[in-house]
Amino acid sequence: MLGYLFPGQGTVRVGMGGWLRRRPAARERLDRFDALLARPIAPLCARGPLERLVATEHAQVAVTACNLAALAVLGEEGYEPAVVAGHSVGELSALHAAGVLTFDDTVRLVEVRARLMAGVGTSGGMRAVMGLPVEQVEDLAASASAPAEPVVVGLENAPGHVVVSGALPALDRLTALATAATKIVTLRVGNAFHSPLMADAVPGWAEAVRGVPMREPRVPVVPNVTGEPTTDLGVLREALVAQLTGRVRWTRTVAAIDAVAPGVEVGDSKVLAGLSRRAEARCLSMADPGALRRLAKTVAA
């Protein structure tokens, strides 16, 4: 048994997906993915430039393409998941892996999501706060917030790795309130994702999600906003909408996956495997050389 974890847009880099093209099943998926897009993503993944690739409208599409190609490799190897989850936009890949969304609808939805989130007019950002428990970061966010300038915990990535999201002045106030020993890193993102500042994108996203047929999941899915496994299609649909402005409870998600089976990061990224190690959970990354050989040993153990 395996738990599949799908990365999100913060994992993009120039050259991503290169190793996947050496696998026939993955290459077929990447080509099919590009054929469904208004503009192919493969050239941007391969050659950049980085400043275009990390833009929201491209990054979400690029990471989803690699996620679904890596999923095809696991299928080619004969693996099936026991439970799935995806980090932020990776939740769409997880829903496809669970049989909830078709391949084509997953591609269509990620294009819509990327376009809507890129089009939000508010000015915000995200910063990683390292070394503090989430409760302390919540207190900092509450102190730094103002009615028109909110800042919230957007991502609980791992113990001691929390991301705050919100208006730029509020982020500056939070940084000033933190002790000198606290490490704060500004993330290269286009806006304040998983915060109230994404509210303008919610109506369009909710309409898109309602308009796509969904099937009962073959295996439990762990939504970002709950961190609890479920096979309830109504819960999954609502959670997919709620995560646009809601918190990604990844620490809880990783624990839920690890309670069922060892995890594998399905995509061209090592980020989720690293976060799992911080949480003392089991997770291999498909982007590591020899990962498939180690995966076979993990499953056999």
Return d(Cα 77, Cα 79) in angstroms, integer.
Answer: 6
Judge if the upstream peptide bond of residue 7 is cis by omega within 30 degrees of 0.
no
Tokens of 46: 């391969």
Active site residue: 58, 96, 161, 194, which one?
194
Phi, psi of 213 (to 5 degrees): -65, 140
User: Could you give the CA distance from residue 31 to residue 21 in angstroms, rounded to a whole number?
Assistant: 9
**In the chain, how many H helices and how many E strands?**
13, 9
With 0-12 / 13-18 / 19 or more C-beta atoms within 10 angstroms meaning exposed / middle / buried, residue 56 is buried
88 is an active site residue: yes
Residue identified by tokens 């594998």 is: 264
- 194 carries an active-site annotation: yes
Distance CA 155, CA 62 (A): 21
CB atoms within 10 A of CB 87: 29
Q: Which residues are catalytic?
A: 88, 194
